[in-house]
Structure 1
């Protein structure tokens, strides 16, 4: 699963959740936006925040709410639970279970 922050219409950044059926990896992909723009649009969407250029935090409940309606796999909910469980074992899940730490990658073409 990928959470993308990209330049949208009129150069206003937008956030999209894509590849929702691939729960073996999760990262934040930033297009041609500044870190500040990415952080702002993530917060406004209620999906999370950017800590720095390499690390973001995504809200578990909001991410699931955004992704699940797009899911095609019959066992998606079980796969989701497995992904969150795995993240917890790796230390990528907040103590309260509300957010996931994710790696930031560039989605900018060029």
Structure 2
């Protein structure tokens, strides 16, 4: 799954969740935006925040709410829960497990 933050209409950053059925990976893909723009866009979308230039935190409940309506796999909810459990086991959570720590990568469209 990918959370993308890219330049939108009138240069207002757009946040969207893509590849929701691929729960083997999760990252934040960022277009040609400043860290401040990315952080603000994530917070305004209610999906999370940028912690450093190469790390972000995504709210688990908000991510699920944004991704689940797009999911096509019958077992998606169980696989999502498994992804969250695995992240917790590896220490990739914050806010008492309410957020997942993710790596920031350049967006393909950047």
Shorter-chain TM-score range: over 0.9
Deviates more, 1:37-46 or 1:92-101: 92-101
Correspondences of 1:87-98 after superposition (within 5 Å): 87-94=87-94, 96-98=96-98
Question: Cα deviation per residue 1:65-108 (whole Å; 9 max; x = unaligned)?
Answer: 00000000000001001100100011001252110000000115
CA distance in structure 1 between the aligned counterparts of 2:109 and 2:80, rounded to whole angstroms: 29
Determine the structure 1 residue equivalent to 2:23: 23
Give the SS at the match of 1:23. Answer: coil
Alpha carbons 1:32, 1:108 under 8 Å: kept:
no
User: Which consecutive unaligned segments of at least 5 residues does structure 2 have?
Assistant: none
Count matched residues: 110
Instruction: Give the corresponding residue for 2:48.
Output: 48
Q: Secondary structure at the match of 1:51?
A: strand
Shift of 1:32: 1.2
Identify unmatched segments of 5+ residues in structure 1. none
Is residue 2 of structure 1 aligned with residue 2 of structure 2? yes
Cross-structure match for 1:100: 100
Q: Counterpart in 2 of 1:59?
A: 59
After TM superposition, which residue ranges in structure 1, 4 or more long, deviate above 4 angstroms?
none
Q: Is the aligned partner of 1:33 residue 2:33? A: yes
Change over 3 Å in CA distance of 1:108–1:70 after alignment to 2:
closer
TM-score (norm 2): 0.96
Give, in whole Å, the separation in 2 of the partners of 1:14 and 1:22: 21
Root-mean-square deviation (Å): 1.2
